[in-house]
Amino acid sequence: MPYYKFGSNDILYNQLKTHPQSNFIIYDNQLFYNNKGNTTGSHTSNVTLVPSGYISLYELNVDRKSDNLIYPYVTKDGSLASFSTVGTSKFNSDFAYGEKITGSYPLSASITSTRYAEGAARPKINALRNALNSYEILNYDYSYSSSLGDKSSQELRLISIPSIFYGSSIQKGTVSLKFYVSGTEVAELKDNTRNGQLKQVASGSGAGAGTVGGIVMYNEGFIILTGSWGLASHTEDYTGDGAAAPRWIDFATMRNGLTGSSFALNFSGTHYVPTMTMFAAAGKGELNHSNNPTYKKYDAQTNFTNYISGGASFRESESSIVNVVSSSFSDTQATFQKTTFINYVGIYDESKNLIAIAKMANPVRKRENDNITFKLKVDF
């Protein structure tokens, strides 16, 4: 099998920019991601082993029995390597040298929704102060203390979106929050102006149309809702303090028994996918012999050629090669041409270890006069 080295112009590195969409539905303390529920498997009622509305990192332990799960582990040794969740004191006192420190799979993530009452402690909001103020170049509503109120003390809701759902950033102009009452949409917020402002664009009662109900932090993956006006005549206990009219601050409330309202959050992310394109060439006069047993005629008489030199002699066998060239006429054999068929291209590292295989959908015919280049693409 011949080996060929890629030239300086045979490998190209590129980057794809994609915008995958995410859709979350929240109803009666249940969360659904991209309209997917739990799927029953052979060994478990939920093949992903993560709750509905969550995404499984690496998709490990899919449809496995609970007593046969794979898990990460580190052996305590002189390198002092451990997991970031194991503190120094626990590492020193709870584990002996040679003992395994284990973790668990699957790891999962989903959006979270947190309401902060007026005057309540809000360490997460306070931690975002500098980031919020840095967005003031887009609009003043981002300011920690702005026309939307003082975020250090006012009532508001924080929706946190893990980066696994949006990648590098949330795509501007794609954020949509819809508030439903009894299955009917009563209001919607959108960032149509692409400056982070979430403005109400639809309302069953007409109240609040065009008003800013919150902001989006595109790079950090946070949505802060401050809209406190009533959206419908419907009343329900969103906060635990009694029935009240729905507000944007009540959006994405996760409470059992909240069956009169439902919520939809839609957005697109920005993902950069590194790609590598490789050109593998099969030039003229190359790759025209095969060691495949079907390449030779074994039903024909084998010829032998004798070689004599001094007092020694040896015999070399000569076998005919199958002629696979198609003839334009029936009962007539076409002129013989050496022909092979390329089924796959192997990629090797510097030590000639096979690291990838590109398989053809159909074998590619290669004759001596053919000059073929295979374009291989790998996404990371």
Q: Can you give the pLDDT at residue 325?
A: 76
Residues 22-31 have pLDDT tens digits of 999 999 999 9
Listed as ranges, residues in the chain with pLDDT below 70 are: 1, 202-207, 298-319
Per-state percent for the chain, helix, strand, coil, to nearest 5? 10, 40, 50
Name the token pair of 378.
């790998």
Q: Can you give the pLDDT at residue 204?
A: 55
Q: Can you give the pLDDT at residue 112?
A: 96
Pick from 148, 142, 122: which is nearest to 213 by CA? Answer: 148
pTM given for the model = 0.79
Pick from 208, 217, 207: which is nearest to 139 by CA? Answer: 217
- Residue found under tokens 């299955």: 183
Residues 229-264 have pLDDT tens digits of 999 899 999 998 899 999 999 999 998 889 999 999
Q: Can you give the pLDDT at residue 121?
A: 95
Burial of 150 (0-12, 13-18, 19+ CB in 10 A): exposed
